[in-house]
Structure 1
Amino acid sequence: MAYVPVPKDLTKVKTKVAFNLTKRQLVCFGGGALIGVPLFFLLRGPVGNSVAAMCMMLVMLPFFMLAMYEKHGQPLEKIVGNIIKVAVIRPKERPYQTNNFYAVLERQEKLDKEVYDIVHGNQKLAAPAVRKRRKDRAAG
């Protein structure tokens, strides 16, 4: 009796459309053929068959890489995009920043006290910044 291995994780199984290729692979191979084959026939006369074939392969190689290369579930254009973001777009120095929970609680407590003082009319206890804002509003 023949046994067929069935993968445990079926999310990595891709549906095949034609010739045991996915839609992505068919589109990339079609694009490569659409550009590479006419280039071969245009260059075959002036430079010879072998040079034309090498040029055709060099032009079609990126399309084949886009169709076939995948690392950690990401296609080539996402990998290249991530490399460009890290190397060019984002800043080289990324300082470590945290949001200290204790500092947040202290700021919230100070704001609560300030609001309480404003609501209950304790002018002396209100923070100086609040008094300054009140003066600015009264003047302006």
Structure 2
Amino acid sequence: MAASYISVPRDLTKVKSKVMFNLTKRQLICFSVAALIGVPSFFLIKQIASTSTAAIGMMVIMMPFFFLAMYEKNGQHLEVILRHLIEATFVRPKERPYKTDNKYAALKRFEEADQEIMEIIMYSEAMRPEKKKGGDDVFDF
């Protein structure tokens, strides 16, 4: 009598629960949507074209749903990969220069601003008219 062995994956996070017909819930939903859109399109195309053209048209219409159901790379589904691709290609700028937060430059800018404020204060005090010695607070004009 020969012994039978069952392979058990080491990483159990990659194991997906099967719902029906050995398909996951995601695959069932995508295949159902593909069938709901593809089969009526076959009959609509068949009215204006030949049967083989209608079959090819139906396959072209259903293929994106099959890719959404089946394709997965590095644990990410097709729509996630496409979103990252669109963001990298169209949304984000092509050149992203590396910018540092230089604390010393910030301190230098603060010191220069502080010095400029002090110069403005000194200038305004120098331009202010002097008070009379008599004690009243009336300006000389």
Are 1:84 and 2:86 counterparts? yes
TM-score normalized by the length of structure 1: 0.72
Deviation at 1:129, TM superposition (A): 5.3
Change (3 A) 1:44 1:91: same
Q: How does 1:1-140 map to 2 (within 5 A)?
A: 1-99=3-101, 103-104=102-103, 127-128=114-115, 131=118
Runs of 4 or more above 6 Å deviation: 132-135
Cα offset, 1:44, TM superposition: 1.8
Q: Normalised by the size of structure 2, how large is the TM-score? A: 0.72
Q: How many residues align?
A: 118
Q: Distance in 2 between matches of 1:8 and 1:105?
A: 51
- Structure 2 counterpart SS, 1:19: coil
Q: Can you list the C-alpha shifts for 1:5-49, whole angstroms capped at 9, x where unaligned?
A: 111111111111111111111111001000000111122232121
CA RMSD between the two structures = 2.5
Q: What is the alpha-carbon distance in structure 1 between the residues aligned to residue 68 and residue 117 of structure 2?
A: 60
Which residue number in structure 2 is paired with residue 122 of structure 1? none
Q: Given residue 115 of structure 2, which amino acid in structure 1 is its aligned partner?
A: P
**What is the identity percentage for the equivalent residue pairs of Structure 1 and Structure 2?**
51
Structure 1: where are the runs of 5+ without partners?
A: 115-126, 136-140
Gaps (5+ residues) in structure 2? Answer: 123-141
Q: Which has the larger radius of gyration?
A: 2
Q: How far apart in 1 are the matches of 2:30 and 2:115?
A: 67
